[in-house]
Structure 1
Amino acid sequence: MKRKIKMIGMDLDGTLLTTKKELLPYTREILRKAIDQGVVVLAATGRALSGVPQELLEFPGMRYVVTANGARIIDQQSENMILYEKLLPLEKANQLLDVFRKYDTLLEVYFDGRGYVSREHLNKLSHYVPDPYMVNYISRTRTSVDDLEALIQEKQAPMDKVQALFYDLKERQTVLDEIEQWNDVSVAHALAMNIEVNAGGVNKGSAMLRLGEMLGIRREEIMACGDGNNDLDMLKTVGFAVAMKNAESSVKAAADYITGTNDEQGVAKAIEHFVLR
């Protein structure tokens, strides 16, 4: 059954992109048809702007992008003008980093749409990330520095988000249990080994609704597709929620419809089935 959809927000990793981080021809064609039909189509990702594939940033008609789990809404057609942002205060970020440093972690900090990691940790990325395609993506999109703490002291600014990649999943769970009790941050995890933290109240769902308000699009006219924990609020918030077949069980439970996997181009299939005339 066709639905009255005016906006579609799509997670990237595990959702729009294949395991190899590719955007396949059928998916490109369906996105193009939706845009030609007047639908606002955008990436809604945990990635910083510098991590969004250039193919999507340059995709004809794809004007907006939600980055850093909803911390920023960006208008690409206006020289990447920031339409909205809510950043993690520096003091809170440092408190989180102090917790993460107690464990075997790779730390990432995000300033102004770019992720930073120490060169030492980036050189042993596979210690923390078993997926070679994810290793390749992170290696290509992060800026390495000699001293991450020195960078933080130099910038003295709030952050888009902070992220930790854990070697030991039990240690990750210990930290997750602790910081989920903090009442002034938003905690999510898109991967089995990571924890990512934003300012309180930040999530992809609130960003999608905010953009909808700017464009005169109602909640019930917004569709979103996702697979991971950082997509959960988005799927619970929008009018029509699509989970990938490869999604976490909690994400599937929140969905109105379960489509194929990301490697089966499930996003495109859902759009063709429910949106295209």
Structure 2
Amino acid sequence: MEHKIKMIGLDLDGTLLTDKKELTARTKAVISRTLSQGIVVLVATGRPWMGIPEELRNFPGMRYALTSNGARVIDTQENRVIEEHLLSPRLALKVLETCGKYDTLQEVYFDGQGYAPADKMASVERYHRNPSMCEYMRNTRIPVDNIAELVKEENRGLDKVQALFADMGERTQAWTELREVGGLELVGSLKYNIEINAAGVNKGTGLVNLGKMLRIKRGEIMAFGDGDNDIVMLKEVGIGVAMANAEAKVKEAADYITMSNEEDGVAEAIEKMVLRV
């Protein structure tokens, strides 16, 4: 089947990046070749802007970035936010209060920057299972004494709240409570987290809206993902590609399943379906 793809959205963790949070030489080469053909390539991630690896933030030809699950879409060339859907401080405080009843490491994102409690960051290994994710957190979050107080002081919309749980039973309880709050979008790209955005915010809507701005049709968009926060995106676009390491429900939402993130699955699918290598 022929597909004329004009835009490709790439999830990061478990998709574009290896388990060590690295971008392989092959994948970089394929992205560069794709961009050289006039195809828009962008990251579509739950991470805040400052949590995206520097080599991707400065990747030649990669102009756009969809961050915080679609809460903030950025034009890096013009250094401006072209779309944002923020969580109110009132709801953010309710989320922090709810998750704060449990053993969690909570963080908030303002203007593309993540903030986390200094005391919980000191024991980040309790909440993140992957050593590479622990290192990522240490390198990209600004430690503060109290994130609830930060939200009160800022008193403005924020990109996202995330809670990492030490106990999965507590995660289930917190999820149930948060669903009753209203006005929230809940996903869990990791088996031990809850990501909280304003209602209606997701990668799929963000990617399709960017396509409209660029006069790219839904059917001309391809997207890659592996986690819960990628499901809507894979369903919304013309070709949704799940990684071999993706959760079963993500694979069910996809049109195509490629190799794993440890096997250059993104590069493999782009070469086969877009570049025709």
Q: Give the TM interval when normalised to the shorter protein.
A: over 0.9
The aligned runs of 1:34-113 (5 Å cut-off) are 34-79=34-79, 81-113=80-112
Shift of 1:262: 0.3
The CA RMSD measured in Å over matched residues stands at 1.0
Q: Output the amino acid matched with 1:257.
A: Y
Residue equivalent to 1:218:
217
Instruction: Work out the CA distance in 2 between the residues paired with 1:98 and 1:149.
Output: 8
The aligned runs of 1:229-248 (5 Å cut-off) are 229-248=228-247
Kept in 2, the 8 Å contact 1:244–1:259? The answer is yes
Q: Output the amino acid matched with 1:157.
A: R
Residue equivalent to 1:29:
29
Report the more deviating stretch, 149-158 or 58-67.
Answer: 149-158
Instruction: Work out the CA distance in 2 between the residues paired with 1:214 and 1:200.
Output: 22
The aligned runs of 1:257-268 (5 Å cut-off) are 257-268=256-267
Shift of 1:179: 2.0
Unaligned runs of 5+ in 2: none
Instruction: Work out the CA distance in 2 between the residues paired with 1:212 and 1:192.
Output: 30
Kept in 2, the 8 Å contact 1:44–1:65? The answer is yes
Kept in 2, the 8 Å contact 1:2–1:276? The answer is no
Instruction: Work out the CA distance in 1 between the residues paired with 2:131 and 2:161.
Output: 22
Kept in 2, the 8 Å contact 1:87–1:198? The answer is yes
TM-score when normalising by structure 1: 0.98
Residue equivalent to 1:180:
179
Report the more deviating stretch, 149-158 or 256-265.
Answer: 149-158
Unaligned runs of 5+ in 1: none
Kept in 2, the 8 Å contact 1:226–1:242? The answer is yes
The aligned runs of 1:116-127 (5 Å cut-off) are 116-127=115-126
Instruction: Work out the CA distance in 1 between the residues paired with 2:181 and 2:3.
Output: 39
Aligned-residue identity in percent: 51
- Per-residue deviation, residues 199-218 of structure 1 (Å, max 9, x unmatched): 01100000001000000000
TM-score when normalising by structure 2: 0.98
- Secondary structure, counterpart of 1:116 in structure 2: strand
Q: Output the amino acid matched with 2:36.
A: D
Kept in 1, the 8 Å contact 2:89–2:152? The answer is no
Instruction: Work out the CA distance in 1 between the residues paired with 2:225 and 2:30.
Output: 17
Kept in 2, the 8 Å contact 1:2–1:273? The answer is no
Q: Output the amino acid matched with 1:25.
A: A
Residue equivalent to 1:14:
14
